[in-house]
């Protein structure tokens, strides 16, 4: 009897799983529609402010119906937004990677030169150049690993495992002390 009861419970739960998926899909559609509606309202507010300020420009350019102008602008905005979210081509990804590596190479050369200069001058913490040079070297080293729009940050995968902990400490110092934004 227990098995039959368990089977009956399971067989009743299966349709509920399907209903749950339908509810989730419906919730997602409603959420997307609400988001689009809010976006449209914000765009309309900006459009209205534009008309208040520059309405004469539309009339001067033969656009008598401001609502038609809004719809056209709204569609252009949506098209531009869709393009911006379009998948990135392999060629662009390769170019981004090449740029990241080239940028990192030159940055690390500058850091190496800075460290050599630091040691040649035998700087001590009491000297006026010590702090700005230290901050500069830390920030310069960390730069390739930060968000470099539009190519993005260099992956930590290039850091040798024996130096990874030290690398992460430098990045942490940069983010927390010198450039928290």
The predicted-structure confidence for 30-76, as pLDDT tens digits, reads as follows 888 888 888 888 877 777 776 676 666 666 666 656 556 677 777 88
Measured N-to-C along each axis, helices 66-84 and 2-60 cross at an angle, to the nearest 10 degrees, of: 130
The pTM assigned to this predicted structure is 0.52
**CA dihedral for 83, 88, 90, 92, sign (positive or negative):** positive
Helices (H), 61-143: 66-84, 90-120, 130-142
pLDDT in tens, 133-160: 999 999 999 999 998 877 889 999 999 9
Kindly provide the b/e burial profile for residues 109-120, where b requires at least 16 CB atoms within 10 angstroms of the residue's own CB. Answer: eebeebeeebee
**CA dihedral for 123, 126, 129, 133, sign (positive or negative):** positive
39/86: higher pLDDT: 39
179/1: higher pLDDT: 179
Q: Give Cα 104 distance to the centre of its chain.
A: 20
For the chain, give the percent of residues with pLDDT over 70.
75
Radius of gyration of the chain (CA): 29
């Amino acid at each position: 009897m227990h098995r039959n009861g368990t089977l009956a419970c399971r067989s009743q739960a299966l349709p509920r799983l399907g209903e749950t998926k339908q509810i989730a899909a419906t919730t997602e559609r409603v959420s997307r529609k609400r988001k689009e509606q809010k976006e449209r309202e914000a765009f309309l507010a900006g459009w209205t402010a534009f008309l208040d300020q520059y309405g004469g420009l539309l009339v001067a350019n033969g656009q008598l119906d401001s609502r038609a102008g809004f719809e056209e602008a709204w569609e252009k905005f949506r098209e531009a937004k869709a393009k911006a979210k379009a998948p990135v081509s392999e060629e662009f990804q390769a170019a981004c990677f090449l740029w990241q590596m080239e940028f990192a190479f030159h940055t690390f050369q500058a850091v190496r030169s800075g460290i050599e200069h630091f040691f040649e001058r035998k700087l001590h913490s009491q000297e006026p150049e010590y702090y700005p040079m230290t901050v500069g070297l830390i920030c310069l080293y960390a730069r390739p690993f930060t968000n470099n729009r539009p190519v993005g940050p260099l992956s930590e995968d290039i850091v040798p495992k024996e130096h990874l902990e030290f690398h992460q400490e430098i990045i942490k110092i940069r983010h927390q002390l010198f450039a928290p934004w």
